[in-house]
Amino acid sequence: MVKTSSPGKLMLFGDHSVVHGRPCIVTAVDYRMNASLSERRDDIIVLNAPDMNIENYVSSIKDLEKPQPKQARFVLTSVRNFFDKYGIRSGLDIETKSEFRVEYGLGSSSAVTASVLKGLSELFDVRMSNKDLFDLSYKTILDIQEVGSGFDAAATIYGGSLYFVTGGRVIEPIKAKELPIIVGHTGVKADTSKMVKMVYQRLAEEPERINRNFDESAKIVDRARRGIEEGNWKEVGMLMDQNQVLLREIGVSSDVLENLITAAKKAGAYGAKLAGAGGGDCMISIADKKNYENVKNAIEDAGGKFIDVKLNADGVRIEK
């Protein structure tokens, strides 16, 4: 049996523009997805995923090409793509277990994909670099979701904090000793695919305006990278505010997000913005030690939920 785990992710800068060829900054978070894999002597794949209400779901290898239940899709598509790429066929017992709630929007789909692929590479003694693992994870995600940049797959595989450009054209670590970021959840589940497709539509309708927005986002990302590496949190907060203005302009913010962002800033945060697709899920803010607790409490007083999560987590790994 092989056991693996991989972290969730949190977008810090460059939301949405990264889907359209611009850079972003993403960090891995210490809520992990665990997977256990072992070989079988038949051609059956048995999946147990209690967090997704899947118990003893059975699929044969030949049925991997057929549509799969939504809850099992990322695991079984990962298996299919691995088998197809490396010419392997084997029955499997797979069990996954998550340390984080799916509704937080912290990248459970990418995390389970990476955990399963890493486990398969170990189980069948296939040497895969992080880039190999990223490429196959990204393909798997696109096979299912059709759209996406791959930043979430990069975060869960490489870990730490990353400067990332669409499709993995650039994946570079950012040296960040600390990230005094406060994460708040709106209580509203975001529909990532819907939001991404909406921005595609706006880009088609107003290409000049939206591309100008994305170009400004790219400039902010580059400045934020320097600010993070230098520990200049006032600068990073100001850039969060500027990035949020751009996200508002393309229509991905929401009243519930704006409410938490406003509360955080009134409580002394240097800056705040949504984190991810928008519409719901998480917002982030940054504050000095003096105001950290004030900001955290303000988010909860405004109806949000503080998520106690550590950033810069380790990437996908084999567990003993």
User: Annotated active-site positions, please?
Assistant: 152
CA distance to 58, 146, 201, 213, 307, per residue, from 207 (Å): 46, 21, 10, 10, 36
How many CA atoms lie less than 13 Å away from 286 in the CB half-sphere? 24
CA distance to 110, 112, 178, 299, per residue, from 96 (Å): 13, 8, 30, 32
- Spacing of C-alpha 124 from chain mean position: 27
CA distance 81 to 152: 18
Give the E-state strand segments of 41-113 in sequence order.
44-49, 54-60, 91-98
**Residue 87 in tokens:** 């010419």
How many CA atoms lie less than 13 Å away from 96 in the CB half-sphere? 30
